[in-house]
Structure 1
């Protein structure tokens, strides 16, 4: 009977180790695990190896031997504990002795196998511990050596740093001293240059044209600038005075050199001009030859002074060089003026002898613009940086331009023709200023002040002549018989003119009153020639004077022809005047200020009566307030006054025509109203309508016969007078819309008056009386009036 027995071995206790070795070993293992951890692949490889070695097979030399007796024992004893346990579990036992022996061997094998791996692990750890004890001993000794070495290195480092800091301090001190020495040397160089510069400037071989002059002058400027900016240095003021003296000498040499070159160039040009002069000394240069004589030869001097002028202009921010540059400009302008002025004056005088005023203005301005442009170009060759300032050339160009001004002024100052004066303004303002001067720019800017001065004079003369013209030709105009021959003039013009003429298109075939025609013509000429503020005052005065003149002519026409002709004449010319001044974009309102002394007499009386004191400065009656005038402002708007007069005249005309046609009806309605008021007063408001009708018929003016006679007069006026009025309106007012606007209130008044009478007749009179009165139906009257003005 075979029995399989499995036994479990008891755990085997580890031998105790020293505490120090264990702690060091554990610390070393922990440090090792932290510093060299295994990766996931390494852990997987260890797991695979563990699985491979988990099963240990039977040794090859025992795998095929038979089991039993002594062979089994010897076999078991020759195997290791694990192999023995495997074989014993599978052994066949024949008796109890074998069983007990087998059991004892199996138990011993199991204990041996159970304790073997712990012994093996203990031995391994013990070996590791011994190794670590040896290593830690060596490490401790090595660390001790390292600590000593580190302490020595720290001491050496401290000594080295101390030495390095000391070296750096010495180097910095050296650099500072070197820098201080260099700075001191550089500062002393400016003072040391005094003797060197003075020796060179006072040298007999020194001249402005040499190549050493400008660098030496530049070094002198640097020394002066440095000494001026550092007054705290010893003897700086003394050195500054000496440097300034050298600078004055150098600038004097520059000035003399420039004057010499300019005078030499001027002498050459003067010789050329003398050669071209005639027997009587008159210039015979043609316009083309002026350029070669006056400008081309003078440009050669510019090349000699170019370098010097550039240096002077580059330092013009300093007052000494700015003054030198200004002196150079003055010297240049003086020399050029001496050469050019005679030629320009002679040329302008030649133009004045050949040309009229307008042509002289154009030719003179064109010639002077050419001169200004050439002078500006020549000035640029000498002074390239300062040529943009027009004021630098003013001493030269102003006298040249004055020659044209002096030639033109005596001619236009006595000119009385408004057209010619306006033409001069157009030439100066539009052609010269706006077109030519603006297009050519700063090169001809020197001519602008003279042109503006001439333009102001011409505008002043034009203003004076316009005021004189308005006084003589408008305000003081005395009409002749033909001027006020209305409506004959209009009838003659209508028969000779085939075209329809409106107020918006006033033509020469329609006669206008001369002051109106002259006013419009004068304003049209002055509008673009005068400044807006000046034109506004003249326009306001012209419109006011023209309105007064038209009103005076209307009164003359009223006395000569009829009231209707005078009114239509006034309306016609007021409309034309309003239409013609509408395009002027100005304000016709002018404020007049005047002094009022009206209160002076009353204040003097109070002072003489003792009611006020002269010396009392706290009251209103003091001396200062007594003799202080009041400033009164009076605003006059000529356009509004024209509108007001036009409106008044139209209302008067409408009322005149209305009375001319329906005066009997208006008188009848007025009388009826008065009778009703009187009857109402007498009857205390209790009179019946029938009594009122009987009382109205009993009135002498309201009998059916009288009313019929009134209606007949009105019908006669409608049929004969009103068509004549409409015809005359069409004769004076050619615009159908104007006619319609003026006739509309007349028609309304006629219809209203006729309607009132028609209503009275229908209410107050019987049908037989109404039939005998024979009033027109209002609708028929409306149609008739509409047909008149169609």
Structure 2
């Protein structure tokens, strides 16, 4: 048994080694998962204990006697089967070993071979399937290409169908468009047939629809001149339109004439009483009956107004306006003329203007209401009623103008301006009513004529009543006129004090201020400024002339106070006028013409040298001289000069002895300072001043007494006269203040001389001059 054990171990070792190598190589080339490896390990244990194949077992039995005995133990069952064999030689052993190894290998690889066979079969199956799939795919690709070709053909067919459908629709639309356009041209025959039908007239129900269709055809043909024969069709359409508009005009005229005939028949049926007829302009027969008779025109006129934006209908509308106004004018003209003529015979110009304008405004309002009934859309046009209202307003203007030309009363003319501006035009403006707009040009024209006439009469008044005024003795009876007025005012306390005050004024002043106060609200600012400047200038000149006459008749002081009084009044009264009293005068100056002509005749200048200043053009061109005159400033200047003259005259009246004394002393001192070498004069200068003949204390005392007497006697008389002429105390105070200053200044100067040249005793006892403080108190008490 010991000899058998070793041979059994060798094959097992080789088989295990080769099996290991195979398994290692297989593992490297085809790695298994852990689960698969575990299964293989389990199988390897089972396989290693399997028995020898039957064939090998039999061969081993047969060869036991010849050689080496080998046995294999089958451990597949519980009982062990031992196959024993005898290996005679080495070849048998190797053959046996080889067979054993092949058998083991075959048994070991069988499962893998079966798996490989299975995989090979499946791969073959897959190859077959892939070949079938490839064939199927080829068929599918071919089918897809065929489908794409069919889809392309189908889409092309659909697109072609869509294009055909669109083309069909376009052709249908085109045909419809041509048919719609041709309808306008085809309407010519239809419209012409209807319009030329003997039964067709404006009152026919089909007239207005046919006219509307005709207008549409004309508008279309006008907007498409590119169509063939469009001009021919347009001409024919316009001929039909002219025929239709002519029918409308004839119809409107016939209806208006019929309405006018009815109204005139109703007026004649009133018995022909002129008084009754004159009241008919406000009566219903003129308006209500006419409105009722002409109501059938309203649809036609409204249709015309709705299309008035077109030239043809605008013309026919204007023609209807004219026909309407002509018929209305034939009805109301005679009545209005008669009424205005009655006013003209009975009333003065202002009353006639007021009544005539009010009556014409009433007629205009009634006519506008009636006109608005027929022409509601175009009644707001001012010119629509012009053919009716212009003749009526012109007749009123022609009635008023002759009376205006002969009117000379400025008060009446100013009243006319107020009536026209306030009552007529102002009331129209406040109402803002369209009916009266047609009368405004006539009223404004008449107002301009009134302004022109008023301006002319104002200039005439200024020239005749102010500039050329010839004063009477009573006008120059100053200061007696003032004294009488003061006495009358003190005796009678009445409400006419202002009138009494006006009586004390110089008539040209009163006329000037009265005229300006009337003209201020009546004339335009520019015109009034010129008149005011002229009036103030002329009035100032007239007052200055009168003051000289008063000075000759009464006294120079009366003349001065007269001038101051009236210039102050004039300045005060023109202050409220909000104007500039400055006027620029322009005049042509030809004074240089003679000198230029002389130079040309002497050959010093050329007549045809246009480049020099001595040319003919420059020679014959006048120079424009401008001069600005400010009447208010001239008035201030005259007033200031007069006041200064009065102040100096009063100052001289009171302190003239002192002024003469100061003048003599000043002259002596000036002569002394000039260094005159005349011995006689030198001898005089060397003596004291009080030794001079004109400056002895007694002479100075005499002068001082004269001044005192003048202050106590003559100065109060001056103050009284100032109070008589100048009623305003503040004015007297202002005027007396420089007089007082001059008197005090004269005393101060003399007092200074006395202190320097005379002793205190001579001043106090001999001269006895009043102190400055007492003098000021005395002068203050005078006012």
TM interval, short-chain normalised: 0.7 to 0.9
1:734-781 CA-partner distances (Å, limit 9, x unpaired):
111101110111111111111111111112222122222222221221
Kindly state the Cα deviation for residue 164 of structure 1 after the two structures are TM-superposed. Answer: 4.8
Aligned to 2:508: 515
1:586-613 superposed Cα distances (whole Å, 9 cap, x missing partner): 1211222222221111112111111112
The aligned counterpart of 1:485 is 477
Question: Does the 8 Å contact 1:302/1:381 carry over to 2?
Answer: no
Do the aligned partners of 1:578 and 1:642 also contact (CA within 8 Å) in 2? yes
CA deviation string 1:156-177 (max 9, x = no partner): 8767655554443333222222
The residue that corresponds to 1:242 in the other structure is 236
Provide the residue aligned with 1:191 in structure 2: 185
Q: Structure 2: 5+ residue runs without aligned partners? A: 1-25, 34-125, 678-683
Match of residue 610, structure 2, among 595, 609, 617: 617
- Kept after mapping to 2: 8 A contact 1:497/1:509: no
**SS of match in other structure, 2:528:** helix
1:408-427 alignment runs, 5 A limit: 408-427=400-419
> Is 1:770 equivalent to 2:752 in the alignment?
no
Distance 2:156 2:311 in 1: 58
Give the superposition deviation at 1:416. Answer: 1.8
- Superposed, 1:490-639 pairs within 5 Å as 490-498=482-490, 507-509=499-501, 511-639=504-632
Query: Which of 458, 461, 474 is the aligned partner of 2:453?
Result: 461
CA distance in 1, matches of 2:462, 2:749: 51
- 2:201 is aligned to 207
**1:715 matched residue in structure 2:** 708
Give the whole-Å Cα distance in 2 for the aligned partners of 1:235 and 1:781.
Answer: 118
Kindly tell me the number of residue pairs found equivalent between the two proteins. Answer: 651
Please say if residues 688 and 757 of structure 2, whose CA atoms lie closer than 8 Å, have aligned partners that are also in contact.
no
**Cα separation, 2, equivalents of 1:270 and 1:335:** 11
Superposed, 1:121-140 pairs within 5 Å as none
Q: What's the CA shift string for 1:687-719, capped at 9, x where partnerless?
A: xxxx98954334332232222222222222111
Q: TM-score, normalised by structure 2?
A: 0.78
Where has structure 1 moved over 6 Å in runs of 4 or more?
15-22, 147-160
Contact 2:218 2:238 in 1 (8 A): yes
Of 285, 289, 294, 2:286 maps to 294
Q: What whole-Å deviation, never above 9, does each CA across 1:635-660 have from its counterpart, x for those lacking one? A: 22211111111111001111111111
Distance 1:694 1:205, change over 3 A: same
SS of corresponding position for 1:682: coil
Could you tell me how far apart the structure 1 residues matched to 2:384 and 2:399 are? 25
Shift of the alpha carbon at 1:339? 1.3
Structure 1 gap segments, 5+ residues each: 1-14, 23-133, 685-690
1:622, CA displacement in angstroms?
A: 1.9
Structure 1 residues 548-557 or 705-714, which shifts more?
705-714
**3-state SS in 1 of match to 2:651:** helix
Q: Does the 8 A contact of 2:281 with 2:332 survive in 1?
A: no
In the TM superposition, what whole-angstrom CA distance separates every residue of 1:65-84 from its partner, at most 9, and x where no partner exists? xxxxxxxxxxxxxxxxxxxx
> Whole-Å Cα distance in 2 between the matches of residues 239 and 19 of structure 1?
104
Higher mean alpha-carbon deviation, 554-563 vs 656-665, is at 656-665
Q: Is the 8 A contact 2:393 2:439 kept in 1?
A: yes
Distance 1:172 1:784, change over 3 A: same
Q: 2:773 and 2:29 mapped to 1: Cα distance?
A: 149
Task: Answer 1 or 2: higher relative contact order, Cα 8 Å, separation at least 6.
Answer: 1
Task: Tell me the CA shift for residue 673 of structure 1.
Answer: 2.0
Q: What is the alpha-carbon distance in structure 2 between the residues aligned to residue 257 and residue 705 of structure 1?
A: 121
Tell me if the contact between 2:655 and 2:743 (Cα under 8 Å) persists in the aligned partners: yes
**Aligned residues of 2:263 and 2:285 also touching (Cα < 8 A):** yes
Distance in 2 separating the partners of 1:618 and 1:383? 67
1:226 maps to 220
Query: Mean Cα displacement is larger for which, 704-713 or 235-244?
Result: 704-713
Secondary structure (helix, strand or coil) at the match of 1:352 reads helix
Give the stretch that moved more between structures: 154-163 or 339-348.
Answer: 154-163
User: Is residue 515–residue 546 contact of structure 1 (8 Å, CA) maintained in 2?
Assistant: yes
Partner of residue 334, structure 2: 342
